[in-house]
Structure 1
Amino acid sequence: MQSPSRRSNASQGSAQARGRIIWDCSYIDREPWRATGIQRVVRELGEALVVEGRRRGRDVVVGSLGGEAVGPTVWELARIPRPQDKPLGVPRRPLELSRDDLVFVADSSWHLGLSYRLAPWWLEGMRLAVLQHDVVPLTHSWTADEGLVRQFGLWMLEVGTFADGVVAVSRSTAEATRAMLARTVPWRELAAERVRVCWLSGMHARQPSAQRIVDVQSGPVVAVGTLEPRKNYTTVLDGFEAHWQAGGSVPLVIVGRLGWRANHIGARIEELVQAGRPLTWLADASDEKLWRTIMGSRALLSLSVEEGFDLPSVEAAVNGVPLILSDIPVHRELFDGYARFVGPGDASALAALLGEIQEVGITNPPTHPLIVDRTWHDGARELLEILDALPMDAAIRARWRERTAPGADGHPGPARHVTPPLVTQLVARARVLVRGGLTGSLARAVAAQVRAPATRRAVFEVAQRVDRLERLLGDLESAVRESTKAQGRLLEDTYGRLEALASLEALSEQLVREVADVKHRLGAVEAPERRTLAPELRERG
């Protein structure tokens, strides 16, 4: 197989033109009942992309590439006939990857480490692109769960290191992504053509005009979204409380479940309801109930401190519902001249606007936002053009090969380029996994008491493999110590962190397989032998 880096530009373009687009929906595959904004985008845009690809003679395969989502790693997935297209309702067929494919990570698959799983094909020229919904966990980390902040930070390292291109859902998200990648991977300059913009759509939520209640001036203002810090419900409640205390009577309906760091918001809502305020909380509304509520409202309210696209507001605008929005970049980008804007922390401005709405009502201005007429098929066609034009970045692959090539001492490259603090932490975690699972000495003790020759040989083989894993961990620790002495703080770079993670992640996967294998083999030992082994196993932990 000829290396992609040696092919001419013309031949690369030809390969890209006939290669497939693999539309990754690993998170939906794992939790198909999810109906968040991101999952709705993945379903709607994915369905449209399959149709538009077929019209253009392009093969768009909807697949799940995540190890946690499907059980085996992607290498196993590529070899077995797994049906992977169920989430989007398109024909199911086995998935076999090729270096001519383009894998497009559209789902919130940040936890799956797809770049490592796809490494063999990526190094041979398979292109990798991602749909960037937002960078809120990093730019507004106080609004997110701590675990998500850490995981999303690692994901952005992956994107900056491996992705051939990024498709952002709005211009403001694209700008934030460029800025974040410039800080995360300063050694790689992602050119403007590698961070593109493709607006989404709200057209699938268009309701028949008959469902829009004509006289909605007595209806509520509706806020939609999970109760969590980013949605800024504190300012929403402050504004409405000030309005009610001043004698106002505009009702508020909140549609959204209780999320993270929001118990105090849920308690406050319940107190206001008990106090007789015109407030309703629908924590588990069906889609039908949600749309009945929105279509009968005076306006949709979204005071988020940050959004990537704000799909509910787009869907409401598609149906002619007036909007009250926080004055943030993405809202200005999509709805400038259409929505009424309030500073995200300005509760007094919200209270004043509510008083105005009660007196004179709220109507749509004559300005017509362009996003209202955009369909999912418009977005799919634009996305196809972006992906078809996306070049394979040969330079970054060459850099990766250089940095991961074995040294003269035979140690793998990442062991010579790691960041000491992170690796020390990860090695300690790996050792806990080894000691907590099955050590080589325990395996040999077990094997010595097993009468079945085949089982005894198998356990001895596993013991030897576990011993090799422990030696590799020791080598990695030694390499870290030597690197620390020789390079010190010079090794505190982002690339080293990612390489260390890649090395240990592969090691952890191998360890898990070894432990599972020995558990399976021990399970085959006859009952009398298991009773004989029980005291020894208890003694050794």
Structure 2
Amino acid sequence: MAGPEQGAGAERQLLVDLSVLHRHDDQSGIQRLVRNTLRALLAAPPAGLRVCPVYDAGGHYAYTACHGGSAAEGAPISVRAGDIFLGLDLCPDQVPLNRAVFADLRRHGVGLYFVVYDLLPLTLPAMFAPGAAPWFSRWLDTVAALADGLLCISRAVADELLAWLEQAAVVRPAALRVGYFHLGADLAAELPAGAAPAAAEQAVLARLAQRPAFLMVGTLEPRKMHAQALDAFELLWRQGGDASLVVVGKPGWLTEHLQQRLLDHAELGQRLFWLPAASDAALLQLYQQCAALLAASAGEGFGLPLIEAAQHGLPILARDIPVFREVCGGHAVYFDGAGVELAAALHQWLARRAAGTLPDARALPWQTWRASSENLLRIVMEQDWYKLAPTLLP
């Protein structure tokens, strides 16, 4: 693995794994984080490190020039002691197959670090496709056994990871460090110059001016609780409440019934809107135009729409779960329970809006992607970890 360019005095490498993004950008929240974090790292490389995007090339890792890398596309990586491998992309298929590759990297003195986005396939298995839990568990077992440190995207995820590590009793050669950082938000900066919503999106935006609109952002999947939100809005409408529900998200798993329910709904195009392929330009306008962000998820690793909404001063109505409290603090209104409780929370929220007593989302702290990437690297470079995980020595 060592090469001539890695001789004495050469700049250390930050090898950023993009194995999934390199194959296909599915426009998920994770892919948005990967794209923006990489962009920030390339724009402002950390002192003494050369940022090198890499991918799993089948039994070895290779450089990629497709995402801003400077090395020849497809050239096998060449490493030396002091280099850093950052598993930025979530790669449950590739990483477990590359245990021998990572062991070899470690023998060459490369530090191994992986980002942990959440543990939801393990904590909410019924809300994922069959087989997701063991598939994800293989990845987590692998990185927990091999990594020097795991970087979570919130303190809530770090605490869940530490609890899992304690009961999993992972055998390791040394202590495992666990840290956390928060995500960034800069949707406007991601848009190409002159980007604008499509005509169909502009028609939806025009209709939203008629009444307060609650915006939900995220792939249709069970844990996002879109079905429960729709239950709540149907109850709100029957009770005389007048507000719109706007769902921005592509179809996901286990939601065929929900998709048909949305498409067949009597309020579709009136007080219910589903944008399965909304452009970023349309999403930006929705953040600026809607009355509130509705974050109804039963579980999240972070909740990127929360800070995107705050960046645009959009008030937030969120389920009372630890990660949302961590991100929003006192700058959101919280609810708990099922559709009936959410309908009541919607009524109360509308009353507070009329009275001018809603929390000011603009006061919610948020950061740019550059600051987020700097915080991620600070943990690694300065060894500023949150906690050490329980370790079972071989």
Matched, 1:198 2:190: no
Q: Structure 1: which amino acid aligns with 2:324?
A: H
1:206 is displaced (CA, Å) by 6.7
Q: Residue 365 of structure 2: SS of its match in structure 1?
A: helix
Q: 1:48 aligns with which of 18, 40, 48?
A: 40
Say if 2:306 and 2:328, in contact at 8 Å, map to a contact too: no
Say if 1:301 and 1:324, in contact at 8 Å, map to a contact too: yes
> What are the superposed Cα offsets for residues 73-132 of structure 1, whole Å, 9 maximum, x if unpaired?
216x4xxxx5x0313x34343432334321110101111024333321223432111011
C-alpha distance 275-229 of structure 1, shift in aligned 2 (>3 A): closer
Structure ranking higher in strand proportion: 2
Say if 1:103 and 1:126, in contact at 8 Å, map to a contact too: yes
**TM-score for the superposition, normalised by structure 2:** 0.82
**TM-score for the superposition, normalised by structure 1:** 0.61
C-alpha distance 297-207 of structure 1, shift in aligned 2 (>3 A): farther
Q: Residue 85 of structure 1: SS of its match in structure 2?
A: coil
> 1: CA distance between counterparts of 2:164 and 2:115?
15
Matched, 1:155 2:139: yes
> 1: CA distance between counterparts of 2:24 and 2:190?
27
1:338 is displaced (CA, Å) by 0.8
Q: Structure 2: which amino acid aligns with 1:123?
A: R
Say if 2:90 and 2:115, in contact at 8 Å, map to a contact too: no
Q: What is the Cα-based RMSD across aligned positions, in Å? A: 3.2
> 2: CA distance between counterparts of 1:205 and 1:174?
30
What's the counterpart of residue 444 of structure 1? none
Matched, 1:91 2:75: no
What's the counterpart of residue 110 of structure 1? 92
Q: Residue 116 of structure 1: SS of its match in structure 2?
A: helix
Q: Structure 1: which amino acid aligns with 2:281?
A: E
Q: Structure 1: which amino acid aligns with 2:42?
A: V
1:334 is displaced (CA, Å) by 0.8
Matched, 1:365 2:359: yes
Q: In the TM superposition, what are the counterparts of 1:103-502 in structure 2 within 5 Å?
A: 103-113=85-95, 114-188=98-172, 194-205=177-188, 218-273=211-266, 278-343=271-336, 345-359=337-351, 361=353, 365-366=359-360, 369=363, 371-372=365-366, 374-390=367-383, 399=394
Identity %: 30
Structure ranking higher in helix proportion: 1
Say if 1:335 and 1:369, in contact at 8 Å, map to a contact too: no
> 2: CA distance between counterparts of 1:243 and 1:309?
28
In structure 1, the gaps of 5 or more residues are 2-14, 400-541
> What are the superposed Cα offsets for residues 46-73 of structure 1, whole Å, 9 maximum, x if unpaired?
121233325x232121111x24xxxx42
In structure 2, the gaps of 5 or more residues are 2-7, 197-204
Q: Structure 2: which amino acid aligns with 1:167?
A: L
> 2: CA distance between counterparts of 1:61 and 1:115?
21
Structure possessing the higher radius of gyration over alpha carbons? 1
> 1: CA distance between counterparts of 2:16 and 2:310?
28
> 2: CA distance between counterparts of 1:96 and 1:351?
57
> What are the superposed Cα offsets for residues 329-361 of structure 1, whole Å, 9 maximum, x if unpaired?
110001021111111x33223212322344453
Q: Residue 146 of structure 1: SS of its match in structure 2?
A: coil
**Aligned positions, number:** 362
C-alpha distance 57-120 of structure 1, shift in aligned 2 (>3 A): closer
> What are the superposed Cα offsets for residues 394-432 of structure 1, whole Å, 9 maximum, x if unpaired?
xx9x95xxxxxxxxxxxxxxxxxxxxxxxxxxxxxxxxx
- 41-50 vs 273-282, which moves further: 273-282
Q: Structure 1: which amino acid aligns with 2:121?
A: P
Say if 2:151 and 2:178, in contact at 8 Å, map to a contact too: yes
Q: Structure 2: which amino acid aligns with 1:97?
A: V
Q: Residue 266 of structure 2: SS of its match in structure 1?
A: helix
Say if 1:52 and 1:381, in contact at 8 Å, map to a contact too: no
Say if 1:207 and 1:319, in contact at 8 Å, map to a contact too: no
1:370 is displaced (CA, Å) by 5.1
What's the counterpart of residue 201 of structure 2? none
1:274 is displaced (CA, Å) by 6.1
Q: Structure 1: which amino acid aligns with 2:330?
A: G
C-alpha distance 386-275 of structure 1, shift in aligned 2 (>3 A): closer
